[in-house]
Amino acid sequence: MATNSNHNLRRQMLKVAHSLGLFFAMMVLCVPGLWIVLNSFRPTVEIMAKPPVWIPNELNFDHYRAMFGGIGEGGVPVLTYFANSLVISVTSTVIAILIGMAGGYAFARYKFKFKGGIFVGLMVTRAVPGVALSLPLFILFARVGIIDTHFGMIIAYVALNVPFTIWLIDGFFRQVPPELAEAAEIDGCTRWQAFWRVEFPVARSGIASAGIFAFLTSWNEYALASQLTRSTTSKTMPVGLLDFTSEFTLNWGGMCALAVLMIIPALILTFLVQKHLIAGLTFGGVKG
Amino acid sequence: MAQVHLRNVVKKYGPLEVVHAINLDIADGEFVVLVGPSGCGKSTTLRMVAGLEAISGGDVQIGGRVVNDLPPRDRNISMVFQNYALYPHMTVRENLGFSLHIAKHSQADIDKAVNEAADILSLTPLLDRKPGALSGGQRQRVAMGRAIVRDPEVFLFDEPLSNLDAKLRTQMRVEIKKLHQKLGSTIIYVTHDQIEAMTLADRIVIMRDGHIEQVGTPLEVFENPINTFVATFIGSPPMNLLDGVVKDGQIEFADGTRLPVPPGYFTDEGQAITFGVRADNIMPVGHALPRGEHMAEVEMTVDLTEPLGTETLLFAVLAGTEVQAKMLNPRPVHRGERMTFQIMLDKCHLFDAETGDTQKK
């Protein structure tokens, strides 16, 4: 009996320890985010207070109001930045996914010369940090005359994302048995139909996850964008955050408000696709 | 319904030739089984008929027309894959109707064909499930249903039963045979399991290393194997083979044991020969079939027994080689027991020891 209750006790303790561990991990992950949201709603005095005020005394929309207000009142062209970010991220993601699908499919299904070498080469491009590329890209883009344009940013982000989408999508197409496409071809499909009607829907979840990654990379990217965008015609939201800095002051509240606006679309997208991700990841057409 | 003809069909992967100019004629409505060990080219041959592999030489004809360069969809065939290859994102109903849907049939036609096929294979209660929610046997039936719905000229089966457990396999074997009797269509079926081949086929095609070794009805290849490969591949347990030399009109084995030459075979004095006898034709005295005309008796020590209920397999050593014998009306046999066995010589086979080919009669 004694050993039995001992084990019971130990199990209870482990459960508590487990919950505590999870709690701390989640805290480390969540507090910065929550802090940003909180700061966007409270007066600058409270943000700057030392020691920090943990429980806010007053919440208001002042920072948001100021941000959307006129230039003189601490306003920034939020909507333009948002539109820039959206156009650049969505376009570059769509292109990266299309190229990623073609490339990933080729790597997963076909044999060709230097396949391994090309694949490693693609991965190596990911090993170069984005900042290291910013100066060469700046010079190149300036010469070609695509600096401070949507087009330039889209090209840069496509190049950044394509190796990654190819690698991810290749993995997902590998999980789709080649017999599915063969069965579809026997059932009357052309090669093209077999891909779109069978292989694509089955690998859809993987392609969606590659899409999220590509979108978030472009949406959050700062290092390249800060060099390659100059004005409101192409500045993205991460770069727009810098508008809140001036020579002697940092408008933390305004920055947090813009950061919240940045987070919202990313969150919505992730939630939308997450459901799809889980639902799609059930393979059952072949043995298993 | 259609005939299928293979004329000198070759398959090469780069410089490597895996199927060597094979010829095969399959009659309308015939059930032909391609059988052989893995890597013998049987699946490749089937995939060339399906159009999933390009042929490197020769002609494939289906229903009288050469289909060498036609894509699979224009060959009017159906195929059942080893892993079933059901579309996981579609329900059973959509899986079954997919080919008709692609061919732009009316919804009414599709429903009719799907319901008919579902009825034949008792899939009706499963129509709205997805493949992921089906058991192995059910998936197998859906795969067959998908093939039936197309109403093709030729059915191709690529090891369709190898992912099922033994009991289900036996059951599905019977269903496939019934299906063939019902539809009367031409079937080409690939398997590595000789029991499947024997039970299903109108004709068996035994392949090895990209060559066709023998074509014949199950009984033909069982009773008259053309060489030692076919002799050991077809039949369970495999035929016992013993190497010996012809001496004084008898066969002498390495340890001096002698057996008469089976009736009907021509042999040369001093010729190296392989003597073949199936377990069914070597039985302990008193446990055998009624005495035939040509019998030989040998004494052997039993090493191991495998009781199968109606019969028991006995493992014993004859002339230095382990042989399997069969005991009808089984009784317990203990290890090391010495027994007298009868060999039915008129059921035995002789092969040339060098080539492995059957000795002329």
Q: What is the mean pLDDT of residues A51-68?
A: 84
Residue B18 pLDDT class (50, 70, 90 cuts): very high
Q: Is A186 on the interface with B (CB under 8 A)?
A: yes
**Between A286 and A170, whose confidence is greater?**
A170
Q: What is the mean pLDDT of residues B193-217?
A: 94
- Closest-approach residue (CA) in chain A for B154: A186
Decide if pLDDT at B188 tops 90: yes
Q: How many CB atoms lie within 10 A of CB A199?
A: 23
Non-local CB neighbours of B175 within 8 Å, separated by 6+ positions = B121, B141, B144
Contact list in A for residue B168 (CB cut-off 8 A) is: none
In chain B the beta strands, taken as DSSP E runs, fall at 4-13, 16-26, 31-35, 57-62, 65-66, 77-80, 154-158, 186-191, 203-208, 211-216, 240-247, 250-253, 258-260, 272-277, 282-284, 295-307, 311-318, 321-328, 338-344, 349-352
Phi and psi dihedrals of B155, rounded to 5?
Answer: -100, 135
Q: Please count the residues of chain B.
A: 361
Decide if pLDDT at B39 tops 70: yes
- Closest-approach residue (CA) in chain A for B87: A285
Q: Which of B266, B275, B261 is nearest to B319 (CA)?
A: B275
The mean pLDDT of chain A is 87
Q: What is the mean pLDDT of residues A257-261?
A: 91
Least trusted range by pLDDT, from A123-137, B71-85, B174-188: A123-137
Decide if pLDDT at A5 tops 60: yes
Shortest Cα distance from B39 to chain A (angstroms)? 19
pLDDT for the residue numbered B205: 96
DSSP string, B97-138: HHHHHHTT--HHHHHHHHHHHHHHTT-GGGTTS-GGGS-HHH
Q: Is B150 on the interface with A (CB under 8 A)?
A: yes
Q: 3-state class of B10 per DSSP?
A: strand
* A182 → closest Cβ in B52, B86, B136: B52
Residue A280 pLDDT class (50, 70, 90 cuts): very low
Chain segment A129-154, per-residue pLDDT in tens: 877 888 899 999 999 999 999 999 99
Structure tokens that stand for B108 in this block: 């009414």
Q: Could you give the domains of chain A?
A: 2-68 (no CATH), 71-280 (1.10.3720.10)
Angle at A150 between CA A144 and CA A156, to 5 degrees: 65
Can you tell me the distance from the alpha carbon of A208 to that of A228, in angstroms, rounded to the nearest whole number?
28
Chain segment B118-165, per-residue pLDDT in tens: 988 889 999 999 998 998 889 999 999 999 998 899 999 999 998 888
- Say if residues B75 and B50 touch (Cβ distance below 8 Å): yes
Q: What is the mean pLDDT of residues A202-210?
A: 85
Decide if pLDDT at B266 tops 90: no
Residue numbers of A between 269 and 288 with CB closer than 8 Å to B: 282-287
Q: What is the maximum alpha-carbon separation in chain B?
A: 78
pLDDT for the residue numbered B1: 57
**% chain A with pLDDT above 70:** 93
Whole-angstrom CA distances from B199 to A116, B150, B159, B173, B312 are 46, 26, 14, 8, 22
pLDDT for the residue numbered B288: 65
Shortest Cα distance from B101 to chain A (angstroms)? 9
Chain segment A209-238, per-residue pLDDT in tens: 888 889 989 999 988 898 888 888 889 999
Beta strand B272-277 with B349-352 is antiparallel
pLDDT for the residue numbered A284: 38
Residue A288 pLDDT class (50, 70, 90 cuts): very low
Q: Could you give the domains of chain B?
A: 4-231 (3.40.50.300), 240-352 (2.40.50.140)
- Closest-approach residue (CA) in chain B for A180: B85
pLDDT for the residue numbered A27: 92
pLDDT for the residue numbered B291: 66
Q: 3-state class of B21 per DSSP?
A: strand
The answer to whether the CB atoms of A285 and B81 lie below 8 A apart is no
Q: Is B273 on the interface with A (CB under 8 A)?
A: no
Helices and strands per DSSP (H, E), number in chain B: 8, 20
